[in-house]
Amino acid sequence: MGFDVRAILNYGALGLQKYLALLESSISPHSMKGLLNLLGDTMYLSYYTYFMKARKFMAIFTAPPKYEEDLNAFLNELRSVGIFKYYELKKLKYARILPFKVKYFDFNKGVWRQNWTEDNEYIPEIFEEVNPHPKIDEIDLRILKELQKNAYVKYVDLSRKLGLTRQTIKRHYDHVAKAIQMYAVLWFPPLNPELILTPIAVKFSDVERSRNRVINVAFNYMELRTSDDEYYILMLLPSIEFYRTIKYLTERALIEEIFFLNMEHSMGFAVHFNLFKNKVGWINPFKEGTQKIMEEIGLLFRA
């Protein structure tokens, strides 16, 4: 039915802060996708998606707070060389996957049964606090990356993949398990998803009032709140429920804007274990990043 289980990390426990970037590109979405994939491999980018009507990308960086100025300077440098027309960078109070609403899904028939008249259940906000001195190492992060890819991975598989003994894997797993916020059930139809659902992002004003009224919609996937209290919810709307969901949102909350997401220009990335060095900690790739990016963009255009 399109269900998957993922390990959701508390990045704050790893010493990382989440940032929201809105990027208006000077290059095509296809070329921009190639650039963002590079940032996802080397520059702490953890997620991006494309707003089709607004013609801009939403990106989430998960980086050490001490590199915030360098991240901002890096994005500004890309703007100055013409890759971005405009960008915004804001610290996030949180960006988190929301728990799956089991009671609203009919597993026998494989369909949603959202109750639009039911009183809202209170779901508390969870603010991630950044641990300035996380006690982690490269092995811990590599195990977390594998758990993000496959929540059911076994010690023996980790041992074979990482080239370590099962005893070493168990010791590190027991230590780093506290960084796993939850195991989340995710729903995304595997075959022709564009015929089954419509992915949207909704920006709300009056965050306290709006959140309390929309947080229980079954199709919510992720919620984001910035340091200046901009609030977004990302939804995977079943096509058959599109009208009723939009009607419910407009009647109950204060919508600023609705963005339609391009699934072909969306991507998530696992924890960046390659940017962590034992006895050094999280490294800073931004100061030397612009030159490398420009070289890669040249290769993209030649291709």
- Give the other-Cβ count within 10 Å of 131's Cβ: 16
Residue 299: both structure tokens together: 């290769």
Reported as type and span, the H/E element at residue 278 is none
What does each of the 303 residues of the chain score in pLDDT, given as a tens digit?
788 899 999 999 999 999 999 999 988 999 899 899 999 999 999 999 999 999 999 999 999 999 999 999 999 989 988 889 999 999 999 999 998 888 899 888 888 888 888 877 888 898 989 999 999 999 999 999 999 999 999 989 999 999 999 999 999 999 999 999 999 999 888 777 888 899 999 999 999 999 999 999 999 999 999 999 999 999 999 999 999 999 999 999 999 999 999 999 999 999 999 999 999 999 999 987 777 777 766 665 565
CA dist., res. 72 & res. 89, Å (int): 7
Which DSSP string do the residues of 164-207 spell out, in sequence order? --HHHHHHHHHHHGGGEEEEEEEE--SS-GGGTEEEEEEEESSH
Say which residues have a Cβ less than 8 Å from residue 11's Cβ, sequence separation at least 6: 17, 18, 46, 62, 128, 271
Whether 31 is in a domain gets the answer: yes
Q: Exposed, middle or buried, 18 (CB in 10 Å: 0-12/13-18/19+)?
A: buried
What is the greatest pairwise CA distance in the chain? 57
CA dist., res. 140 & res. 147, Å (int): 11
CA dist., res. 243 & res. 252, Å (int): 14
Whether 295 is in a domain gets the answer: yes
Supply the DSSP symbol for 132.
S
**pLDDT on residue 303:** 54
CA dist., res. 101 & res. 118, Å (int): 13
- Give the other-Cβ count within 10 Å of 152's Cβ: 9
Whether 20 is in a domain gets the answer: yes
**pLDDT on residue 87:** 96
From the list 85, 103, 179, the residue with the least C-alpha distance to 136 is 179
Whether 139 is in a domain gets the answer: no
Task: Read off the pTM.
Answer: 0.93
Whether 88 is in a domain gets the answer: yes
Is residue 151 a contact partner of residue 9, using CB atoms and an 8 Å limit? no
* CATH number for 46: 3.30.70.920
From the list 114, 74, 104, 93, the residue with the least C-alpha distance to 231 is 93
Number of domains present in the structure of the chain: 1
- Give the other-Cβ count within 10 Å of 110's Cβ: 10
Is residue 294 a contact partner of residue 301, using CB atoms and an 8 Å limit? no
CA 272 to chain centre: 13
Whether 292 is in a domain gets the answer: yes
Supply the DSSP symbol for 273.
G
**pLDDT on residue 118:** 81
Domain that residue 286 falls in: 16-95+266-302
Residue 172: both structure tokens together: 């590190």
**pLDDT on residue 297:** 64
CA dist., res. 224 & res. 108, Å (int): 32
Whether 196 is in a domain gets the answer: no
Whether 159 is in a domain gets the answer: no
